[in-house]
C-alpha cells in the first residue's frame, strides 16, 4: 500500500470532515454532530485546529485532529480531538503511522504532553493506546456545558 502521512491542507478538509462524520456514526452519536463542512473550512482557515492525514491514492483515509492548549501543571500541551481511520483500512498499520507522526510532532515542537479521551466501551482503541504505553486516567470525569 502506498501511504503518505502529511499535514492537511485546505483541499483535504472535506475528507477529514467525512472521517469525523464516520466516527460520529461509529460512536452512535451522529445526531450530536452539528458542525458543518463550511464550519470546518472556517475553523481550519482560522487556525483553530491542525490535522495530519493518511493519504492513499490521494484519498484521505485517516486523520488526527489536534490543537494547542495549556496545562497549568505541565505547560504547552497538544490536545488530540479526534483520531480516526476509515473502517476498511483499520488494522493495517495506518493508525499506528498517524499516531507515531503525532507523537513526533509533539516532541519536535516541545509539547510537554499529548492528551485525549477514549470511550470506555471502545476496547480496540484502549488496547491500541495501552500498546503505545499511554496512561489511561480512569479517575477523571468529563464535564461540559453545551450552548
Judge contact between 86 and 61, C-beta under 8 A: yes
Residues 90 and 92: their CA atoms lie apart, in Å, by 5
Q: Is 129 a catalytic residue?
A: yes
Sheet holding 3-7, edge to edge: 3-7, 50-56, 59-71, 75-85, 113-115
Enzyme catalytic residues? 129
Amino acid at each position: 500500500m502506498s501511504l503518505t502521512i502529511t499535514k492537511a491542507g485546505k483541499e483535504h478538509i472535506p475528507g477529514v470532515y467525512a472521517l469525523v462524520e464516520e466516527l460520529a456514526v461509529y460512536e452512535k452519536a451522529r445526531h450530536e454532530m452539528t458542525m458543518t463542512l463550511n464550519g470546518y473550512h472556517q475553523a481550519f482557515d482560522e487556525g483553530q485546529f491542525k490535522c495530519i492525514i493518511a493519504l492513499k491514492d490521494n484519498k484521505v483515509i485517516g486523520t488526527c485532529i489536534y490543537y494547542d492548549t495549556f496545562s497549568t501543571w505541565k505547560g504547552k500541551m497538544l490536545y488530540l480531538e479526534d483520531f480516526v481511520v476509515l473502517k476498511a483500512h483499520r488494522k493495517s498499520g495506518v493508525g499506528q503511522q498517524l499516531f507515531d507522526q503525532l507523537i513526533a510532532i509533539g516532541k519536535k515542537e516541545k509539547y510537554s504532553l499529548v492528551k485525549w479521551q477514549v470511550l470506555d466501551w471502545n476496547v480496540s482503541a484502549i488496547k491500541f493506546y495501552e500498546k503505545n504505553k499511554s496512561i489511561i486516567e480512569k479517575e477523571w470525569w468529563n464535564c461540559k456545558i453545551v450552548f
